[in-house]
Amino acid sequence: MKVLVIGCGKFGVRVSEYLTRKNHDVTVIDSDPDAFHALSKEFTGRTVCGVGYDREVLERAEIATTDVVISCASSDSLNAVVANIAKNVYHVPTVIARMYDPVRARLFESMGIYTVSITWLGMNNIVEYLEGNKSWRVVRKLGNEDVQIVKARVPAALDGTKLSDLTVTGKMNPIALERHGDSILPEADMCCEYNDVLYLAIRKDYLVQARDLLRL
């Protein structure tokens, strides 16, 4: 995954170094250039000096093509601004914000922004959330759970594949996709593009076969 971390304090350093060890593409933003000295030699990602909510800085850090933004600056207000920009301006698929204020945290959860505490538990929560949110995730179970709505990111191997080829009568149907921040209803002969986000209705007894078909 391509991850952008805002804030190079102790928490940001731990997250950045962990994700680097897991071979993710990590970029860290901080307004203090000396903060980057806290990163160890094992950190192989990029650093960008600047204010985390500045559009020019964010674009220099390639936010438009980022899969995950983790805002963990020391200020709730800054994290709130960054999370809002990432989610609603750049349509980053996964946005995580560290929050001290539980009221604000609940508000952001309702907006689809995952929030964590400031402790090591927060670090564990981020890892757990990302591990379960990579390329395949069940987002809704309907009725008796025989039909489930799955969110899946299109891999390079399926680039150009027709959505009709991902339809298995009575087992799996594409119902929507997200592309460059826009939501689209499937049409006849529409093809997938790499990094599209597909939403599929899948029968519970077909989930394993569906992952194989989607090459995930």
Question: Is the domain of 116 the same as that of 158?
Answer: no
Question: Is the domain of 109 the same as that of 65?
Answer: yes
The structure tokens listed for 73 are 């600056």
Q: Of 131, 166, 183, which marks where a domain is finished?
A: 131
Written as one letter, the residue type at 86 is: A
Give 75's pLDDT tier (boundaries 50, 70, 90).
Answer: confident
* pLDDT tens-digit series, residues 98-144: 887 777 777 777 767 767 655 444 555 555 555 545 577 777 888 88
Question: Is the domain of 86 the same as that of 141?
Answer: no
Question: Is the domain of 110 the same as that of 17?
Answer: yes
* pLDDT tens-digit series, residues 193-212: 988 899 999 998 998 899 88
Is 178:184 a contact under the CB 8 Å cutoff? yes
Question: Is the domain of 37 the same as that of 68?
Answer: yes
0.75 exceeded by pTM: no
Q: Of 131, 159, 190, which marks where a domain is finished?
A: 131
CATH classification at residue 35: 3.40.50.720
Give 46's pLDDT tier (boundaries 50, 70, 90).
Answer: very high
The Cα 84–Cα 204 span in angstroms is 34
Q: Of 131, 164, 186, which marks where a domain is finished?
A: 131
Total count of domains within the chain: 2
Domain that holds residue 73: 2-131
